[in-house]
Chains A and B, each alone.
Chain A
Amino acid sequence: MKVSLKNISKSFYGNWANKDVNFDLYRGEIHALLGENGAGKSTLMNILAGLYHPDKGNIFLDGREVKFNSPADALDAGIGMVHQHFSLVKNLTVAQNVLLGTKGLKNFFSHRDLEQIVSEFSNQCKINVDPTKKVWQLSVGEQEKVEILKLLYRKTKILILDEPTAVLTPLEIEELFQTLERLVRQGDGSSSVSVVLITHKMKEVIRIADRISVMRRGEMIQTLKSRENAVSEGASEVKLAELMMGEEKEMEVCECDNIESEKIAEESILEIQNISVRNDRKLMAVKELNLNLFAGEILGIAGVAGNGQVELLEAIAGIRDVENKNESKIILDKREISKLTIKERIKIGLRYIPADRHRDAMVGTLPLKDSVMLKDYDTNEMLVAGFLSDEKTTKICKKIIDDFKVIGPGEGVPFGLYSGGNQQKVVMGRELRLNPKIILAHSPTRGLDLMTTSFIHQLLKKKRIEGVGIIFISEDIDELMKISDRIAVMSAGVIKGILKRDEFDRVKIGLLM
């Protein structure tokens, strides 16, 4: 099946998300759609998947015009999309999720029937997931597989994956790519699957895509054959970066060498002694862990997701209880804080940037201003005579919007409708605005484009020079090696080892993980 999108335009709140975009997808290819956050990639694919209606333009399947009024229409036509936030029912099993809403089931059936159907189908596709498991028990990588399986079961011929690698570990990414390649290559002619991969990571694009389309600010810049630019990997990455960012490229320059290890103060600003923390499933996630953070350093924590990183940070922030309060200590700037409330810890300069910003760090249904006020609404920064001052809060908002170049649909619009990168900028702006003593940042750059990522790195480095202690958790080892002064490797709830900057080594870190 060949897909053509012709002259697609779509605007939101008067801003063009797509402007006269043309896009072709051939049968049996992996087509990467590359671009910064807010370039219009997801919008374009949401139009193809029937979620949005284009303001202008047409969709053609094999030369015939089609109109999708809903994702169900698109699915019927063989087009399915895996969204960045998965649409799985967490409390149901894999088999139930795959078969959910499909036709052709008997009125009464046993769970074993369902599992049988799904396990046969997954063997046939060579995508292995245990159909009896509940979705919440699966890793993110496995959930991605379930999403793909779900679409394949519905006879999808065109798979659209929106930023699939943002949340996957390197190993899972490798496996996903192998699956995709197999799906695309296996078929001959009519039965083969085509894949659209939405991403902003150039490395993986070069590795897997047959063709690459680059978008910038709602417009299609160029479509390249992968071989065309594969003179050498380095050269093509530069070319793609140029296409992606256009003239703004200079702003992106990241000075990664300005880290001087000897600048680390001798004194620790945060001392964690012997803490144990349980996760949501009541299992011990952090086990008698000890950690020191010096003033003016960025301490990277490497590790596969789900090894206690979230629980550790939440325990330091006071959001999660420490199991052994009497034998453990959390000392912030010479002060024992384990008995303090969340609010008291915020007030003495502990700032936490959670991984799940939608859930933990912002109020998506209210305007931007309310998210900016979230933690400091009870300080004199925002109050006049005990009442919230419109004037003061507006000023603070304006400053964050200006300083962080926040772009969005407007101040009266719910904050959740801003793009992910802009939401993260606002959260960062809020957390760094006052003078923090320590910053706990969990994957603050996940899913963000190069410019925003480097911007956030630079912000953190600036704070570090001011003497702030920063814990930086990421699953991306390259990012950690770029930004950290030391890297601690966390696995199964304990710190397996700590490396100084001159000892950084991918293999060493990988082995400790």
Chain B
Amino acid sequence: MNFQFLNTDINFEKRGNPSAFTSILITLLAIFFSLIFAAIIIKVSGGKEADPMAPLAALSAMFEGSFGNLEQWRNLDFYNISEVVVKMIPLTICALGVSVAYKMSFWNIGAEGQFVAGALATSLVALHFDSVLGKIPLLLLMMMLSFIFGAIVGLIPAILKVKRGVNEVVVSLMLNYIVILFTEYLAFGPLRDPRGLGFPGTREFSENAFLPVFGISRVHYGIFLMIFLSILLWIIFKYSKWGFELKVLGENPRAGYCSGMNISKNILLAMIISGGISALAGFTEIAGLSHRLQKGLAVGYGYSAIIVAWISRLNPFKILLWSFIFSVIIAGGDQLQITAKLPKAIALVIQGTILLFVLAGDFFVSYKVKVRLRKIELKS
């Protein structure tokens, strides 16, 4: 008698050069699956709603919130999408900031604090000089001081690392609380608007200190800074001596050291730039959007930026793209809260799942799965 069995072998094999097509396809699949996962979460947290399509409705509400509906498009109303761009600007700039430090494997978790430090610097300049200086010098001064504030906040974990070998993750994370709470104290106390009738924040700056906006939207000229920084960092990473040093020190610091690179100097410099850039996001947010320093400024751009930088492999142009995707989710999250009466935090859940799915999908970018069926014949 002959028995036949099918024996399945599943093997994983490393791909040499993963093609661009594969990685894009797998990324899209990852986003797709994370949305399905999100739908399940919505279903679970949706409570009593009996409609089985509720999760899909919620997701579509989310996208409508981000992109607007057909009706609006027909009327040339792009308000929703412009709100996505408004969120994308600080997110991108923070992600660009952390990517500088991550390039050399220095794990700066402090973008949120650096962002707030930039906002504080911007406000200080505006409050003191908005009636003294002209628009351009005022904006330049705001920008410079916010960069310096961010650099100082960034330097603290760097110096501790270089001098004492202290773990930068802990220091930069803890600094966030110090900077944020200190800034809130200032906004509540010394810098509080005396005529604000108890409003927790400074007075609104004079229009001299506003970044110009496009038309009637809230999209401000910070978008130019965002694009400029993306291009600048792309050039630095790819074509500059310093970018090369960062890359080598990030991958094999000992080899870099043996080749004459200065590790300490590079950590300090990277964190000056990293902190400075993240702080510029604070500048655009204050000067372009809120026009005053107030409570609740830190809404998590600095943390989402870590995910964006990571998911983009520290490529500045991919950072632009992923920031956009994440902003869609953040903006849609607001909508979710309004229409579907779901917690806004769902947006954060989706962000997290996208990261997990994309990272998991990475495995399939660099490995081929080979499934092989074998017939085994048993004779008896």
A282: chain B residues within 8 A (beta carbon): none
- Inter-subunit contact B259/A375 (CB<8 Å): yes
Any chain A CB within 8 A of the CB of B244? yes
Q: Give, as a whole number of angstroms, the nearest-CB distance from B376 to chain A.
A: 9
Any chain B CB within 8 A of the CB of A346? yes
B14: chain A residues within 8 A (beta carbon): 12
CA distance A34 to B16 in the complex (A): 28
Any chain A CB within 8 A of the CB of B380? no
B73: chain A residues within 8 A (beta carbon): none
Any chain A CB within 8 A of the CB of B247? yes
B256: chain A residues within 8 A (beta carbon): 363, 374
A387 with B240: in contact, given A361-B255, A366-B247, A370-B248 (CB under 8 Å)?
Answer: yes
A409: chain B residues within 8 A (beta carbon): 16
- Inter-subunit contact A413/B255 (CB<8 Å): no
- Inter-subunit contact A410/B248 (CB<8 Å): no
Within 8 A of A (CB), among B10-24: 11, 13-14, 16-17
- Inter-subunit contact B260/A343 (CB<8 Å): yes
Any chain A CB within 8 A of the CB of B251? yes
A360 with B17: in contact, given A341-B260, A378-B241, A388-B240 (CB under 8 Å)?
Answer: no
A359: chain B residues within 8 A (beta carbon): 252, 254-255
Any chain B CB within 8 A of the CB of A342? yes
B254: chain A residues within 8 A (beta carbon): 359-360
Any chain B CB within 8 A of the CB of A108? no
- Inter-subunit contact A360/B240 (CB<8 Å): no
A364 with B252: in contact, given A53-B11, A388-B240 (CB under 8 Å)?
Answer: yes
- Tell me the count of chain B residues lying within 8 A, CB to CB, of chain A: 26
CA distance A362 to B14 in the complex (A): 22
- Inter-subunit contact A377/B244 (CB<8 Å): yes
Any chain B CB within 8 A of the CB of A412? yes
- Inter-subunit contact A366/B244 (CB<8 Å): no
CA distance A13 to B252 in the complex (A): 25
A412: chain B residues within 8 A (beta carbon): 16-17
- Inter-subunit contact A365/B255 (CB<8 Å): no
Any chain B CB within 8 A of the CB of A468? no
Q: Give, as a whole number of angstroms, the nearest-CB distance from B332 to chain A.
A: 37
Residue of B nearest to A409 (CB): B16
> Which DSSP category, helix, strand, loop or mixed, fits chain A's interface?
loop
Interface size class of A (residues with CB under 8 A): 35 or more
CA distance A363 to B261 in the complex (A): 14
CA distance A225 to B240 in the complex (A): 59
- Inter-subunit contact A363/B240 (CB<8 Å): no
A387: chain B residues within 8 A (beta carbon): 235, 239-240
Residue of B nearest to A10 (CB): B13
Any chain B CB within 8 A of the CB of A373? yes
- Inter-subunit contact A319/B258 (CB<8 Å): yes
A410: chain B residues within 8 A (beta carbon): 16-17
- Inter-subunit contact B247/A342 (CB<8 Å): no
CA distance A446 to B315 in the complex (A): 38
Any chain B CB within 8 A of the CB of A383? yes
Within 8 A of B (CB), among A355-395: 359-366, 370, 373-375, 377-378, 383, 386-388
- Inter-subunit contact A362/B255 (CB<8 Å): yes
Instruction: Give residues in B with beta carbon < 8 Å to A.
Output: 9, 11, 13-14, 16-17, 235, 238-241, 244-245, 247-248, 251-252, 254-262
Q: Which 10 A-B pairs have the closest CB atoms?
A: A343-B260, A13-B16, A342-B260, A387-B239, A363-B252, A360-B258, A375-B259, A412-B17, A365-B251, A53-B11
